[in-house]
């Protein structure tokens, strides 16, 4: 006698539609804007100086450039935009913050 086991987990399509899709309401530009606001809050909370503020300006300009690399129709430069630019942004921001702290 064989028993049929039914999966208690939803199918991947239903899971995507029910759980993941509602969280896509904030587009990537919205997340980057939120990140910039959090960086400003970080500078204010820790009382960082002008070099840290300049770092935020550079990060904002690099994010604008990152968004110009990829369009909805052409995703061929997605790796360059996502992995490379985010790596460059994080290292540059680290140097701006480190420089700000060292020059105090």
Q: Of 21-25, 84-88, 95-99, where does mean pLDDT reach its minimum?
A: 21-25
Residue 100 has pLDDT above 90, yes or no: yes
- Contact by Cβ (8 Å): 68, 61: no
What pTM does this model have?
0.70
Q: What is the residue-averaged pLDDT of the chain?
A: 80
Show me where the domains of the chain are located.
Answer: 26-102
Sign of the CA dihedral with 55 first, then 45, 87, and 69 last? negative
The Cα 61–Cα 49 span in angstroms is 19
Confidence (pLDDT) at 66: 84
| Residue 52: per-residue pLDDT | 97
- Mean per-residue pLDDT for 40-51? 96
**pLDDT of the residue at 41:** 97
Cβ atoms 89, 62 nearer than 8 A: yes
| pLDDT of 90 above 70 | yes
Share of the chain above pLDDT 70, in %: 73
């Amino acid at each position: 006698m064989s028993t049929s086991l039914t999966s208690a987990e939803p199918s991947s399509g239903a899971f995507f539609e029910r759980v993941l899709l509602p969280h896509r309401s904030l587009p990537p530009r919205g997340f980057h804007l939120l990140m910039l606001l959090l960086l400003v809050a970080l500078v204010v909370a820790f009382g960082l100086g002008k070099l840290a503020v300049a770092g935020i300006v550079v990060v904002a300009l690099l994010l604008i450039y990152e968004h110009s690399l990829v369009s909805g129709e052409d995703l061929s430069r997605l790796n360059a935009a996502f992995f490379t630019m985010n790596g460059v942004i994080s290292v540059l921001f680290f140097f701006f913050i480190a420089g700000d702290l060292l020059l105090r």
